[in-house]
Amino acid sequence: MTGVQRLFDNPYTPRPGLFRVAMRNRSSPSRRGPVGALVVLLPALLLLAAATGAGLRPPAIVQAGYTSYDSGRLNVVFPSPLPGVELFQDANSSVGAAVFVDQVIELTPVLSAHPLVGQFATPTANTPFTPSTPTSGSGSFDLALHGALPVVRTEQPLWATPGGLPANATAANTTQPTGTASLTVSYALLPAGSDQQGLDLSFNIHNWPWLSPSDLLGVELRFVVFNATDFATCPGTTALGATGASGCAGSSLGLGSIVWDPNGVASLIGRDPSGFAAGLAWSDTAQGSTGSATGSIVVGAYHALANTTRLSLLSAANGSSNLTTAGEFLLSAPPLAPLKLVGDAPVYLLSAVGFAAVGLGGIVVYRRRDRRLRESL
């Protein structure tokens, strides 16, 4: 007797010759009927499992780039050999944010909405950064990117366009480089036991050819929060972890708004409707050539695009040839939703019921036909 016959409890076995059948001994009870029902119902069970299981975790997004590291909590991606990093949560890879160093800038100390840029240096593909050998293991990671940048004179207002410099610092209004400075950006994963998830950041400028020692010097960052609907300035670095979905109790930045050196602000939070938040925090002071503090950090923020805020971290370095600023790049996501149907739940349920009904109906029809055939023999 074949496997298919056993599956549906078929008592007939073939004999030599066409159209000859014989009934096997029915003294032994059938054990295959439930298995056949299970096979018929398997598509419905799989469909129902897919409908409910989809809420556990979204499909993984494979991130590719210049180099990357997965801590088990965060996926750290460097998309190119330039100072920029993206963070994605392992628990939900659709949750992510990025920080890029767009410029090193020297500003006049008059902080209007668009202060004048006296000199700037831009990381580009023409000046690739050299990475240090990353160290990693047991939830730890650190990497430093180092590059030499030509410094260019200009007299252009900062943030005249959402793209910032050098989009508005064209060849027609710039001169030949006044010198070469170097920039080293360091990234270190926060310790595995930390409540926060993210990176420690350090921005070190070397050998800046000053235009005026009374100017401000620092980095301009592009802070991108994927699918962000709101950015807000916050009074402290703990706001992200303490309040989670709500971000912080600071002031929201309207699209296109610019703020300079707001009192008591120590971080910037970007949020999306799901409750995910990303934060960029900075230290109060910068370090000069001798390692001593140069003074308080001067902060400017421009909510340039829907999911992007440009941030300048500057210091009155008083002509110091080296300048170091530090900060943190953090992620905070809401807890995973409980197990539930996702998508068009009625469609899933109706499809599952339909598969089950068809399967059961097929078994009933087969049993009746089988009974009539046996009675006719």
Regarding predicted confidence, which is higher, 62 or 312? 312
pLDDT at 293: 66
pLDDT at 356: 78
- CA–CA distance from 303 to each of 114, 228, 243 (Å)? 13, 11, 22
pLDDT at 30: 44
Q: Which domains does the chain have, with CATH numbers?
A: 3-56+339-376 (no CATH), 67-332 (2.70.98)
Question: For 174, which DSSP code?
Answer: B
Question: At residue 376, does pLDDT exceed 50?
Answer: yes
What average pLDDT does range 100-108 have in this prediction? 94
What average pLDDT does range 87-109 have in this prediction? 89
d(CA 55, CA 88): 19
What average pLDDT does range 336-347 have in this prediction? 55
Categorise residue 250: left if φ over 0, alpha if ψ from -120 to 50, beta otherwise: beta
d(CA 34, CA 317): 81
pLDDT in tens, 121-147: 999 888 889 988 766 655 578 899 999
Cβ atoms < 10 Å from Cβ of 272? 21
Phi, psi for residue 218 in degrees, rounded to 5 = 175, -165
d(CA 76, CA 143): 11
d(CA 41, CA 143): 53
pTM: 0.70
Which of 290, 363, 361, 351 minimizes the C-alpha distance to 320?
Answer: 290
In the block, residue with structure tokens 């992007």: 308
pLDDT at 357: 78
pLDDT at 265: 86
Question: At residue 61, does pLDDT exceed 50?
Answer: no
Band (150; pLDDT cuts 50, 70, 90): very high
pLDDT in tens, 248-306: 667 889 999 999 988 888 899 998 887 778 999 998 888 887 666 667 899 999 999 99
- CA–CA distance from 239 to each of 29, 90, 152, 153, 249 (Å)? 69, 22, 38, 39, 8
Highest mean pLDDT among 98-107, 233-242, 287-296: 98-107
What average pLDDT does range 102-130 have in this prediction? 89
pLDDT in tens, 169-198: 544 445 567 899 999 999 999 876 666 789
For the chain, the average pLDDT equals 76
- CA–CA distance from 352 to each of 178, 343, 348, 363 (Å)? 72, 15, 6, 17
Q: Specify the DSSP element, H or E, that contains 225.
A: strand 216-225
pLDDT at 111: 76
pLDDT at 220: 96
Cβ atoms of 263 and 236 closer than 8 Å: no
Question: At residue 87, does pLDDT exceed 70?
Answer: yes
Regarding predicted confidence, which is higher, 113 or 241? 113
pLDDT at 181: 95
Question: At residue 227, does pLDDT exceed 60?
Answer: yes
Question: At residue 27, does pLDDT exceed 60?
Answer: no
